[in-house]
């Protein structure tokens, strides 16, 4: 069971209280659920451990659907009021918890929640963040060492969108929490010493942009586009680390959410999407699956295409999380300072910011259209590019932890 970092409802003018309750929501929806009808007289949001409370809706007389929750795993703790209720099958937010039931008021196995549909009826001004998620279905491809497709499985992932203006949207993918082995195993072809030692990292859920940030998206936030390979749906490039960081700051200001560059552990976890092979496609990749220098080979694949430029995002198949272009197209800036290996690296998904005298060199991930496939592996990490460099090989993508800016 994992947790989605979904923000809670908040009212204009309730800044102090809203920040305190803007915590991760929990998967409270078990297999057993009972729908019933009830007249809502008011919904209270109470701060745990304090006397003060505020009323979101009062004197509402309409009958609306209330869900009775039966928790199969874990306990419904005191203070869960307001936490989103998430459908385990789809990842959608289906309700907001209201209160617990049972003899023990501190914790319990049952509770109640008001459905999103009911909230929309009685609170038309409800913040859209609560329910603007959607599900997308796609196929995930696996290949053998020769690059031959050996499997194709249907997958689905949950997304939400940010409206950047002028018809430009930013799609953010729900990345579930979990634990993985970061780095490359000793027997991986092309392994570098700076990808060691392999170590276990446990991450909380987060959101990551479905694609590298495109030129249209960059233009919408920054008001400019300095890319060498022009095209609105191509990844933005020729952006420095400082440019990418400024984009995150401005995007945060526009949306009220905390956007930033991914840590390299978040990046690798998202790229692997549960795989342990060199690529999320399996033992190798081909130029039909990613944009890299196809003159070089990995494994036993034949030579492929060398396009000599970026391609539109989403032109190649995604991984199991629903992320595209994690191998090739453009290198992607990460938040971390460069370190020569993983000795002492964080194990919680946070960025590693204590550097070894390379203040100007952050981490790059993912490879690019110009590099060979070995340098597009899930574990590959690269330095030697200063933060202030503008290069047509380098772009970025963003992550969000679901919190709100202050």
Amino acid 19: pLDDT: 27
What number is the average pLDDT over the span 76-97?
A: 63
Tokens 């939400």 correspond to 160
What's the pLDDT band for 104 if we cut at 50, 70, 90? low
| pLDDT higher than threshold 60 for residue 45 | no
Q: What is the pLDDT of residue 358?
A: 53
Q: Between 112 and 54, where is the model more confident?
A: 112
Would you say 190 and 292 are in contact if contact means Cβ atoms under 8 Å apart?
A: no
Distances (CA, A) of 28 to 22, 109, 383, 405: 17, 10, 43, 26
Is it the case that residue 211 has pLDDT exceeding 90? yes
* Burial (CB count within 10 angstroms: exposed 0-12, middle 13-18, buried 19+), residue 106: exposed
Q: At residue 51, does pLDDT exceed 50? A: no
Does the structure show a pLDDT above 60 at 404? no
Closest to 352 measured CA to CA, from 253, 228, 262, 272: 262
Packing angle of the helix pair 241-255, 215-222 (nearest 10 deg)? 70
Those residues with Cβ within 8 angstroms of residue 34's Cβ, 6 or more apart along the chain or in another chain: 67, 68, 70
DSSP state, residue 130: G
List the single range of 5-9, 36-40, 157-161, 308-312 with lowest mean pLDDT: 5-9
Residue 114 reports pLDDT greater than 90: no
Q: What is the mean pLDDT of residues 203-225?
A: 96
Q: How confident is the model at residue 158 (pLDDT cuts 50, 70, 90)?
A: confident
Given a cut of 90, whether residue 140 has pLDDT beyond it is yes
More confident residue, 72 or 379: 379
Comparing 22-36, 364-378, 385-399, the range with the smallest average pLDDT is 22-36
The lowest-confidence range among 108-122, 252-266, 275-289 is: 108-122
Q: Quick one: which of 334, 316, 335, 312 has its CA closest to 324?
A: 316
pLDDT in tens, 346-380: 999 999 987 654 566 899 999 999 999 999 999 99
Mean pLDDT calculated for residue range 4-25: 33
- Cβ-in-10-Å burial (0-12, 13-18, 19+) of 348 comes to exposed
Q: Which residues contact 147 (CB under 8 A, 6 or more apart)?
A: 284, 285, 286, 289, 299, 300, 301, 302
Q: Which residue has the higher pLDDT, 356 or 228?
A: 228
- Among the listed residues 211, 277, 224, the one whose alpha carbon sits nearest the alpha carbon of residue 390: 224
Q: Are strands 331-337 and 394-395 parallel, antiparallel or unpaired?
A: parallel
What 3-state class would DSSP assign to 267? helix
Q: Please report the pLDDT score of residue 354 as a whole number.
A: 74
pLDDT for 83: 65
What is the pLDDT averaged over residues 91-107? 60
**What are the distances in angstroms from CA 138 to CA 55, 323, 377, 399?**
42, 11, 22, 21
Picking from 126-135, 150-159, 216-225, 274-283, which range would have the lowest pLDDT averaged per residue?
126-135
Q: Is the pLDDT score of 2 beyond 60?
A: no
Residue 200's Cβ-count burial label (10 Å; 0-12, 13-18, 19+) is exposed
Q: Domains along the chain?
A: 15-131 (2.40.10), 134-404 (3.90.1580.10)
* Least trusted range by pLDDT, from 25-29, 34-38, 392-396, 402-406: 25-29
Check the CA dihedral 234-240-243-244 and report its sign.
positive
What average pLDDT does the structure give for the chain? Answer: 80
Segment 13-32 mean pLDDT: 35
Range of weakest confidence among 101-115, 169-183, 298-312: 101-115
Rounded to whole angstroms, the Cα distance separating 45 from 47 reads: 7
Q: Which residues contact 126 (CB under 8 A, 6 or more apart)?
A: 9, 119, 120
Query: What tokens does 125 get?
Result: 């001004």
Q: How many CA atoms lie within 13 A of 91 on its CB side?
A: 24
Sign of the alpha-carbon torsion through 343, 346, 348, 353: negative
Task: Report the relative pairing of strands 93-101 and 110-115 from DSSP bridges.
Answer: antiparallel
| pLDDT value at residue 156 | 85
**How much is the pLDDT for 112?**
72
């Amino acid at each position: 069971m994992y947790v989605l970092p979904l923000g809670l409802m908040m009212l204009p003018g309730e800044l102090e209280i809203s920040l305190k309750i803007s915590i991760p929501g929990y998967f409270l929806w078990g297999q057993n659920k009972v729908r019933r009808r009830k007249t809502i007289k008011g919904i209270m949001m109470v701060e745990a451990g304090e006397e003060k409370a505020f009323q979101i809706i009062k004197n509402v007389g309409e009958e609306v659907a209330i869900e009775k929750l039966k928790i199969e795993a874990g306990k419904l703790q005191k203070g869960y009021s307001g936490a989103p209720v998430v459908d385990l099958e789809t990842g959608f937010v289906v309700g907001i918890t209201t209160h617990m039931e049972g003899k023990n008021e501190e914790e319990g196995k049952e509770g109640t929640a008001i459905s999103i549909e009911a909230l929309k009826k009685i609170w038309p001004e409800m913040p859209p963040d609560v329910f603007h998620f959607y599900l997308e279905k796609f196929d995930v491809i696996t290949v053998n060492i020769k690059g031959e497709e050996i499997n194709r499985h249907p997958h689905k992932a949950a997304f939400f969108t940010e409206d950047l203006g002028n018809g430009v949207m930013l799609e953010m993918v729900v990345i579930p929490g979990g634990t993985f082995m970061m780095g490359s195993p000793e027997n991986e072809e092309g392994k570098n010493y700076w990808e060691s030692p392999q170590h276990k990292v446990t991450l909380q859920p987060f959101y990551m942009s479905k694609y590298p940030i495109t030129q249209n998206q960059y233009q919408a936030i920054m008001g400019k586009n300095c890319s060498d390979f022009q095209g609105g749906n191509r990844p933005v490039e020729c952006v420095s680390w400082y440019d990418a960081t400024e984009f995150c700051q401005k995007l945060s200001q526009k949306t009220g959410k905390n956007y930033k560059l991914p840590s390299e552990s978040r990046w690798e976890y998202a790229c692997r999407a549960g795989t342990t092979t060199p690529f999320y496609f399996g033992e190798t990749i081909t130029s039909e699956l990613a944009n890299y220098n196809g003159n070089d080979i990995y494994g036993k694949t034949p030579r492929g295409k060398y396009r000599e430029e970026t391609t539109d995002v989403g032109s190649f198949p995604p991984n199991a999380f629903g992320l595209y272009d994690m191998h090739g197209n453009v290198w992607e800036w990460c938040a971390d300072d460069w370190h020569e290996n993983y000795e002492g690296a964080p194990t919680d998904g946070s960025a590693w910011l204590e550097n070894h005298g390379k203040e100007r060199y952050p981490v790059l991930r993912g490879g690019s259209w110009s590099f060979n496939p070995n340098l597009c592996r899930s574990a590959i990490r690269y330095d030697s590019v200063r933060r202030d460099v503008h290069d047509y090989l380098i772009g970025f993508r963003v992550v969000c932890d679901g919190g709100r800016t202050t």
